[in-house]
Amino acid sequence: QTNALRTNATLEAACAWGNTPDGGMNRLASNDDDKRVRDWFIAETSKFGCHHKIDAMGNIFAIRPGQNNALAPIGLGSHLDTQPTGGKYDGILGVISAMEVLQTIHENKITTYAPLAVINWTNEEGARFPPAMLCSGVWGGAFTTEYGHSRTDPEGLTLKEELERIGYLGETECSFEKNPLTAHFEVHIEQGPVLDQAEEAAAVVKGVQSIRWYNVGLVGREAHTGTTPMNRRSDALLGAAKMIVETNRFVTEGEVAARGGRATIAVINSSPQSINTIAGHVDFGLDIRAPADSDVELIEAMCRKRFAEICDEIGLEMTFDNFWVSPAVNFDPTMIECVRSSAREIGCTTELVSGAGHDSVYTNKKVPTAMIFVRCRDGISHNPAEYTRPEDCAAGAQVLLGAYLRYDDY
């Protein structure tokens, strides 16, 4: 049995750094607050018989030995970084649930069959260093360490130099091959409305939908807003605006919309940022998702075609860079079964596919993986109002314990 009160107390402790006045969190990967929570994570897990490996991407593995230490550990992981307008549950609850399992096992003096690794993956959000799940991605072989190291934040700082600065550029090589696991379980808040509507505390996650990210760059011509006739302009911001409206239309009307396609533009920058000079340069980020890879490809094709037409119409040059592809994922049937039977024990039967990407997407490339979702209020996430009830947080840890022990017994 996990301890519900303790789970919530640990969660609160993990939110001591990077909290914002509106009750949310702003703990971008590899900033000073991320360093502080990492130091705390290492100190806490040390109390329960763990030694630590830190890898070249700053991923932290807190390892508690088992009976067979020649076996790779079973990993229970998630992330402690947040969005700039993040909540206190996204990622954090997963690490805390894993810590609760660790602590429960430790206080019950259980020696597990395989070693146990509680894992904090670096930069899951991708908010500071796109793409998301970058460092589980390096571990899972989706990216090279060089690629991960070279990713930059909007200020131009690289992840490598920032990890070095906070003292978390570790010596362990970041790869499944050099630092293997046997399996990976992850608890996460759902971040969507399904469990809230189903009135269940937790769910089995069978997989993750398809995701692609793009940087789109537009070049028009700077010109005077007052003297340049409307029909002699190459207005890059007008072009971007048309693209945003059209992209939204593609996923709110018609077939792709019916099949659950989503597309969002959230980051935009225009230059030269002068109210009386027509924008000559605009860049924006595009996020496309759908349950099926083919629908993401379809939305991409619709955007490429329509964006090119808009560029022709207005007289813009475009770069369209698809810098991240995360295909749809199905988790391991055995692992899913472990989660399913553990969830049933507390009366939860919902099964769903994740709309968000998670570190488990990349561990799944190498080892059997499954996830547990926990209900969150109104499905709100990436927002300070993100909220999960204490009993639901505790339920997540409890389902994780059951699933983990089932797999360890295996």
What is the residue-wise DSSP string for 321-373? Answer: EEEEEE--EE--HHHHHHHHHHHHHTT---EEEESS--HHHHHTTTS-EEEEE
Rounded CA separation 340/356 (Å)? 20
- 247 within 8 A of 303, measured Cβ to Cβ: yes
137 makes contact with ligand URP (CB under 6 A): no
String of contacts with ligand URP for each residue 199-228, x by CB under 6 A = -------------------------x-x--
CB 230, min distance to ligand URP, A = 16
Footprint on residues 61-120 left by a copy of itself (CB under 8 A): 83-85
Is 252 a binding residue for a copy of itself by CB under 8 A? The answer is yes
CB 74 within 8 A of CB 67: no
Query: Which residue from 3, 19, 264, 322 is in contact with a copy of itself, where contact means CB under 8 A?
Result: 264
Report the distance separating Cα 238 and Cα 335, nearest Å.
Answer: 49
Q: Which is nearer to a copy of itself, 5 or 230 (CB)?
A: 230
The least distance separating ligand URP from the CB of residue 275, rounded to whole angstroms, comes to 8
Q: Which of 21, 258, 276, 409 contacts ligand URP by CB under 6 A?
A: 276
284 membership: H or E segment, kind and range: strand 281-290
Smaller CB separation from a copy of itself, 65 or 285: 285
Question: Which of 132, 240, 339, 400 is in the footprint of ligand URP by CB under 6 A?
Answer: 132
Proportion of the chain in helix, strand, coil states, percent, rounded to 5: 35, 25, 40
Residue range at the interface with ligand URP (CB under 6 A); choices 122-130, 299-307, 341-349, 369-377: 122-130
Size (the chain), residues: 410
Closer to a copy of itself by Cβ: residue 364 or 381: 381
Size of the site for ligand URP (CB under 6 A): 12
Based on C-alpha coordinates, what's the Rg of the chain?
22
Among 244, 292, 325, 346, binds a copy of itself (CB under 8 A): 244
Within 8 A by CB and 6+ apart from 330, the residues are 206, 207
* C-alpha pair distances (Å), 144 with each of 67, 134, 210: 33, 10, 21
CB of 406 to ligand URP, least distance (A): 25
Question: Is residue 359 at the binding interface for ligand URP, with CB under 6 A as the rule?
Answer: no
If we measure between CA atoms, which residue out of 310, 223, 231 comes closest to residue 272? 223
Q: How are beta strands 202-208 and 262-271 bridged, if at all?
A: unpaired
Assess 204 for contact with a copy of itself (CB under 8 A). no
Interface residue with a copy of itself among 108, 156, 199, 276 (CB under 8 A) is 276
DSSP labels, 167-228: T---SB--STTTS--SEEEEEEE--SSHHHHHT-SEEEEEEE-EEEEEEEEEE----BTTTS
Residue 90 in contact with ligand URP, rule: CB under 6 A: yes
If we measure between CA atoms, which residue out of 288, 309, 290, 312 comes closest to residue 300? 288
Which residue stretch of 158-166, 256-264, 330-338, 360-368 sits at the interface with a copy of itself (rule: CB under 8 A)? Answer: 256-264
Q: How far is the CB of 328 from ligand URP (least distance, A)?
A: 13
State both tokens at 407. 């797999």
Chain positions contacting a copy of itself, by CB under 8 A:
83-85, 125-127, 130, 132, 154, 190-193, 209, 211, 213, 221-232, 235, 237-238, 240-242, 244-245, 248, 251-252, 257, 262, 264-268, 270, 272-280, 285, 287, 289, 354-357, 379-384
Chain positions contacting ligand URP, by CB under 6 A:
90, 124-126, 132, 191, 224, 226, 276, 356-358
